[in-house]
Amino acid sequence: MKYTIIFYQLIFFCLLQNFSYRVIAGEAKVSRIKVYQLLYLEREPDIAPYKVRMLVSKRYLRIDDVGDKSGYILYDDKNRTIFSVSNYDDRILVIKPEDFSTRNLAVKSTVEYSAAAKAPKISGHKIYNYRLYVGSGKMKKTCANLQLAEGLLPDVSQMLKRYQQVISGQQVKLLNRTIKEMQTPCYLVDQVYNEGLYYDKGLPIQEWHSNKKSQWLINYKQIKVNPDVFSLPEGYSRFSVIPTKRKLDK
C-alpha cells in the first residue's frame, strides 16, 4: 500500500508539472504580440548605406538602425509623442505634438500622382509615382519623389503619417532658429511643413527627399515580438528642445 501511494503521488506530481509547464508556456505565448516589421535601406550624403527596421503595433512604432545599439526611436500613437532614446548619455528626447497649418505658408507646392505602368505589383497592389515640386516652367524644382504601393498596409501608413506630423510640428516650432539661407522653398514644403499626405495614397517603397536622403523598402512581414520592445529604459533623464507645460513622462 505504501508503494502504491508513492506511485500515485509521483503520477500526480508529473501531471502537475506538465500542467504548470503548459500554463507557463501558454502565458509566454500569449504575451507575445503580432506586429509588422518593415526593413528599409537608407542612404544619405557621406554615409555608407545602412538598414533601418521599423516595428509597428496597434499603438507603437519603433525605429532602429540595424546593428546599432546607440539608441532607438519610439512613437506612442495614443499620446502622439516621440521618444528618441540615446544609450550614449542615458537621455531621452521627448517630442510632443504641436499644431501647425500650411494655409499661410507663402510657398505653394504641387503634387503629380500617376501610375507606374511598368512597375510590378507588390502583394497585388499597384505602384504609383508621387512627386512634390515647387515653381513652374523652367523654375520647376522637385522637392520629393516617391513610389507608393497604393493601399498596402493602410494602418501602418496612417501610423507613419501621424509620426511624420509630430516631427513636422516640432520643425515648424523651431523654424525661427534656422538660418534664412537654409529656408528654401523645398526645405519648407518637404522638411518643415510636411503633413505626410502621401501616406494617404499608400506605403512608400522608394523615397527621395530634398535633404538628399533616400530609402528603399527591402521587405515587410508580420512577426511576433515581446511587448517589452516598445518600452523605455528606466533611469534615463528626459528633456525637450521646445519649452512645454506638458509632462515629459507620458
What's the number of domains the chain is made of?
A: 3
Write down the pLDDT at residue 30: 52
Res 205: pLDDT: 97
CB 21: neighbour CB atoms within 10 A?
A: 10
Residues 214 and 230 in one domain: no
Residues linked to residue 36 through DSSP beta bridges, in sequence order: 56, 222
Looking at the domain assignment, is residue 93 inside a domain? yes
Q: Are residues 69 and 132 in the same domain?
A: no
- Name every residue whose Cβ is closer than 8 Å to that of residue 129 and which is 6 or more positions away in sequence: 112, 113, 114, 115, 116, 145, 146, 147, 148
Residue of higher predicted confidence among 6 and 142: 142
Average pLDDT for 58-73: 96
Q: Is there a contact between 80 and 152 (Cβ–Cβ < 8 Å)?
A: no
- One domain, residues 90 and 2: no
Compute the mean pLDDT over every residue in the chain, rounded to the nearest whole number.
88
- Domain membership of residue 6 (yes or no) is yes
61 and 1 in a common domain = no
Do 55 and 23 share a domain, yes or no?
A: no
State the residue range of the domain holding 8: 1-31
Q: What is the rounded distance in angstroms from the CA atom of residue 190 to the CA atom of residue 104?
A: 16
Whether residue 114 has pLDDT greater than 60: yes
- Three-state DSSP at 107 gives coil
Q: Which residue has the higher pLDDT, 9 or 221?
A: 221
